[in-house]
Amino acid sequence: MPKFDVSKADLERLVGKTFTVEEWEDLFLYAKCELDDVWEENGEIYFKADSKDTNRPDLWSAEGIARQIRWALGFESGLPKYDVEESGVTVYVDEKLKNIRPYGVYAIVEGLSLDEEALKQMINLQEKVALTFGRRRREVAIGIFDFDKVKPPIYYRAAEKSEKFVPLGFEEELTLEEILEKHEKGKEYGHLIKDKPYYPLLVDSEGKVLSMPPIINSEITGRVTTETRNVFVDVTGWDLKKIMLALNVVVTALAERGGRIKSVRVVYPEDADVYLAPTIIAQFFDDFKSHEDVWHAVRNLLGWKVIESPDLTPKSFEVELDYIKRLTGLELSDGDVRNLLERMMYDVELVDGKARLLYPAFRDDIMHARDVLEDVLIAYGYNEIEPEEPKLAVQGRGDKFIEFEDAVRELMVGFGLQEVMTFNLTNRDNQYTRMNLPCGDYSNHPPAELVEIENPISPKWSALRGWLTPSLLDFLSQNTHEEYPQRIFEVGKVTLIDEGRETKTVSESKLAVALAHPRVTFTEAKEILESAMRHLGFEYGLEEIEHPSFIPGRVGRIIVNGKEIGIIGEIHPAVLENWGIEMPVAAFELFLRPLYREPYL
């Protein structure tokens, strides 16, 4: 969970009221944080804030905490309002970046007055969002620049590796390749772009380099100080919605410091996969009669896709009032629910037993009515709820199958493998296409059909995984810069369609192992499988099969008690290429339920 330092005095300036340290300990709960430590430095009291929510990057700075507390205490209520003016600045995105780092969104914040603490918070927020929410800059990287040193228009383009600029913290020019080799940030994050044919570069109309996303800013424009009054913010990544959210978080935090937000027009090439919401269509197309006309005009006449960023349009949600009242266990009137939600920065309209909500664009964590319920309880105050002891005449014990799963984990660790834990959510491309599969039905490796989400927040998380092997290959693809051999495993859940069940699905526990190094073979994977079976007390057999994800002649099904429970083999080179993995990989995957019996070891 993100941890960061905040100054007590700075927080109180932003909230508009002073509190004791003991009071602050309770106030932090409104911002889903705990007070981890308190210390004094140069006569100033500092707090170590420990955020308990990785889905709320807007709460990872003094500005976000103070804003949440102002609303929770009733100093302000309802939806926060941020004015966004047009800047007239345009950024052009190079089509060559499509498979390198395709998306960028931008904003300008003017009229800042930054002291040392405000500057420190800005840098902290930038780094925490990119590190945690952005998965170590892979999905989100943020740059902040002195806009007074930038001459628009600005170009986000693919650059030759021999191009040069002075990176932040250096005095001499380096080529883009040298930056990856010599600069501290280049060494840390260079693996994100090292193997690409070009490197991303953000430059102004005079050719001055702003940054080399996602690695480092330039010394000329990228050094922001307490003398800086106007900043240009850039966010790059692979998911337009995700980087827009990160931009919204940063610019609204700067607005809490008195900054004025100005939008930037972003022009994408025609074939860019850009979501054009009507609210972010570039303003200069207002003369057209409808948004459909705008779409066709942009695509067909200009060959462009144009958006405005940031997009601070409020998001909407609807929840049943009875649901909130029933699950809180509190005696709340409709008015009480409205008041509590307004203290959590919602605009609320009560209609026919429902609450129609608008919430800020810097949040993206409201996916279910339970998320709204949580906000109601936070506003009410967890410390105000009297606990009740459950009236259950039962004694708890550990689930035997869970204990079996833990025993399998210990067994794999004993074989020298490292455990990984990957996401249950995935997408059809990862489960099928990248695995060299037109579809599934290889005895559930993978299944014939995926359980897909009807209205996913992001295309990247649009299905529940049907097998684990793609998740392990995804992990290996993100760690190609680490030393080999890499020997990993996961004990995790997959979701399969089962029409006979009430939910039409069933969750099954599986074990998957992947071995990656220059000399890995089918035999090495088989040795681990054989040892595991021996320890679990099962005899098994192998039958050669054909499977597009594996090399022909080096793949087989795993048979136990006459039934197929898994698959083993060497991953096909086409699959490795799809994942960007340059090492051979051998893997196996099997269902654990058929191997469960007591005693199990």
Q: How many CB atoms lie under 10 A from the CB of residue 330?
A: 16
Handedness of CA 469, 452, 564, 407 (dihedral sign): positive
Q: How far apart are CA 238 and CA 490, in angstroms?
A: 26
Rg (CA), the chain: 27
Q: Residue 438 has which token pair?
A: 């037109």
Q: Which residues are annotated as a binding site?
A: 365, 371, 374-375
Handedness of CA 396, 399, 404, 407 (dihedral sign): negative
* 3-class DSSP assignment, residue 323: helix
Residues pairing with 591 in the sheet: 510
Q: Residue 220 has which token pair?
A: 């000329």
* 3-class DSSP assignment, residue 69: helix
Ordered alpha helix ranges (H), 489-581: 522-536, 573-579
> Which H, E and C letters describe 482-504, residue by residue?
CCCCEEEEEEEEEEEECCCCCCC
Q: Which residues are annotated as a binding site for Mg(2+)?
A: 365, 371, 374-375
Residues in the chain: 601
Q: Residue 327 has which token pair?
A: 């699950």
N- to C-terminal Cα separation, the chain: 35
Q: How far apart are CA 255 and CA 244, in angstroms?
A: 16
Q: How far apart are CA 87 and CA 282, in angstroms?
A: 12
* 3-class DSSP assignment, residue 24: helix
Phi, psi of 459 (to 5 degrees): -60, -25
Nearest partner of 536 among 460, 463, 592, 480, judged by Cα: 592
Residues near 296 by beta carbon (within 8 Å), at least 6 away in sequence: none
* 3-class DSSP assignment, residue 531: helix
Measure Cα distances from 51 to 7, 132, 433 in Å.
16, 12, 37
